[in-house]
Homo-oligomer: A and B are copies of this chain.
Amino acid sequence: MTRRRFGAEDSQTRRALLDAAAQIMLEEGYAAATSRRVAARAGVKPALVHYYFRTMDDLYLALFRRGAEANLRRQEKALAADRPLQHLWEFGNDPDSTALMAEFIALANHRKTIKAELLAYAERFRTIQIKAVTELLNRYGVDTTAFHPAAATVILTSISRILAIEVGLGLTAGHAETIELVERFLHGIEPPRTGDADAPTDDHPTAEDRPTARGPAERE
């Protein structure tokens, strides 16, 4: 058989293909991110996709890893910042990364390699979170026997993620009340430093401020 070649990691075209795939997945779902359409969006021919990525699974995996690494770095920064809990709460509210993650969860449902990768990442992510929150709550003097740090972590990120998903769908009933309650709670154990310009903004965007629809292109 003929020896196949594969493109370098730092290629400009490779990056363009990953960007194109991410955009399509966000706008139309993972099923729409086919080799032909990814190539078209990146402005190249379909064969190039298979030059840089042997299979479509390889492309999905590469895209996932790129986002996962970025997320881990983002979280690391958030946890080291001024008000870590507030940052952790806002973290899951990023619509794009949350929506992309939802697509990968759906993908994982029937792609073994994606599922394994997703699980490994999620566990790593959560372990870091729980460790950081544990130290934080102790430092804040919260009674962690009644309010376990692991539970706090799961609850905070769960709410954050569901809200993001629902906003993407156009559902906002109960959101304002939820955000108000969570932020009041957070302020109670992690008070914002008043008059600190670098602190995270207090007027967290409410559901009403956000666009109701996420992607531009619906299906024709």
Query: Chain A: residues with CB nearer than 8 A to chain B?
Result: 27-32, 99, 102-103, 105-112, 115, 118-119, 122-123, 126-127, 130, 147-148, 150-151, 153-155, 157-159, 161-163, 165-166, 168-171, 173-175, 177-178, 180-182, 215, 218-219
Please measure, in the bound complex, the distance between the C-alpha atom of A158 and the C-alpha atom of B98, giving whole angstroms. 15
Closest partner residue, chain B, to A133 (CB atom):
B174
Known interface pairs A102-B106, A107-B29, A181-B148; A130-B162 also in contact (CB < 8 Å) = no
- Please give, as numbers and ranges, the residues of chain B lying within 8 Å of A154 by CB-CB distance: 159, 162-163, 174-175, 177-178
Please measure, in the bound complex, the distance between the C-alpha atom of A155 and the C-alpha atom of B154, giving whole angstroms. 12
Please measure, in the bound complex, the distance between the C-alpha atom of A127 and the C-alpha atom of B162, giving whole angstroms. 17
A49 to chain B, nearest CB (A): 18
State whether A148 touches B180 (Cβ < 8 A). yes
Known interface pairs A122-B166, A169-B119; A174-B159 also in contact (CB < 8 Å) = no
- Counting chain B CB atoms within 10 Å of each CB, the highest count among A28, A32, A109 belongs to A109
Q: What would be 6 A-B contacts, judged by CB atoms less than 8 Å apart?
A: A27-B110, A108-B169, A123-B173, A151-B178, A154-B178, A158-B158
Known interface pairs A169-B115, A170-B119; A180-B158 also in contact (CB < 8 Å) = no
A216 to chain B, nearest CB (A): 12
State whether A174 touches B162 (Cβ < 8 A). no
- Please give, as numbers and ranges, the residues of chain B lying within 8 Å of A174 by CB-CB distance: 126, 130, 150-151, 153-154
Please measure, in the bound complex, the distance between the C-alpha atom of A153 and the C-alpha atom of B116, giving whole angstroms. 33
A-B residue pairs, 7 tightest by C-beta: A106-B106, A150-B174, A158-B162, A29-B110, A28-B110, A29-B109, A151-B177
State whether A127 touches B173 (Cβ < 8 A). yes
| Contact among B106, B147, B159 for A103, CB-based, below 8 A | B106
State whether A171 touches B106 (Cβ < 8 A). no
- Please give, as numbers and ranges, the residues of chain B lying within 8 Å of A108 by CB-CB distance: 169
A115 to chain B, nearest CB (A): 7
